[in-house]
Structure 1
């Protein structure tokens, strides 16, 4: 994802429903989103043994951007933490499952990732269902992982080894 994606994703990411279970707010302006994307596109600081990847999710069938995907690869462990934001108009229609599957497949092929992790607010039942469908299993709980929107956020961690994934091999490339 590059800073020029901000103009295409600003309207998509303004959706307040996206931020119900994460400690972020919708972007305040297209310029703020441009600055965020520009910063993210620089990658991880050099002192970290990490690769930061950020993708814009575009559906060519409807000719629209619908969200973003993120991955932090921990090079020493060949492990990746994954996350996604999808405009609520596209929830429950398989877009997140397909996009996450495509990204995971890419991370295995191009970066040799052997384990994946997803951390999420325990109230985010739809995301929990999504990662379970892909083969992720519950591996941890953190009480008071964060505090935002006036409430504590408790998090579940789900992990999966690459050979245990249920990712679709069909679909378009990222």
Structure 2
């Protein structure tokens, strides 16, 4: 089981079924999902399907996903995770999604900082991020976190 990761303003914890409304607010928002790999969710049933997929991938050790919870309100405001582990387990992809109402407030910077520290404890030495060309906010965030563009992909050594 993956640990909770506690910061000053956010906590990263396992996604739970009772997060349904907060998750739908995130995944059902056109602005939030503009550069996501999935289309905008049109019903809460899609959230249940996502939760099942997350559980299966975590059980298989293929992916680890956390809810990003704002400490002041206990509201789920985003998700972040480690995915696509290399065969030797020393590198993986880092992904995130934040409710557009919480952009530019430092929440995801803090959340990903916690995740970077945790990834290092797992023996990960290199992280990748797949960011769409037009996603300037994410590009700025990952550069701030020490990622560099190499071969068209954001990368960072730990």
TM superposition score normalised by structure 2: 0.81
| Alpha-carbon distance in 1 for matches of 2:118, 2:49 | 26
Q: How many residues align?
A: 143
Cα-Cα RMSD: 1.9
Structure 2 residue 138 is the aligned partner of structure 1 residue 127: yes
Equivalent residues in 2 for 1:156-171 (5 A)?
157-162=153-158
Question: Which sections of structure 2, spanning at least 5 residues, go unmatched?
Answer: 1-13
Q: Is 2:118 the partner of 1:106?
A: yes
Runs of 4+ in 1 over 6 A off after TM superposition: none
1:2 is displaced (CA, Å) by: 4.2
* Structure 1: tracts of 5 or more residues without a match: 142-156, 163-174
TM-score by length of 1: 0.74
More strand by share: 1
> Rg bigger for which structure?
1
Q: 2: CA distance between counterparts of 1:38 and 1:29?
A: 15
* Pairing partner for 1:81 from 93, 102, 121: 93
Q: CA deviation at 1:95?
A: 0.8
- Cα deviation, residue 7, structure 1: 3.9
1:1-174 equivalences in 2 (<5 Å): 1-2=14-15, 4=17, 5-43=19-57, 51-72=62-83, 73-109=85-121, 111-141=122-152, 157-162=153-158
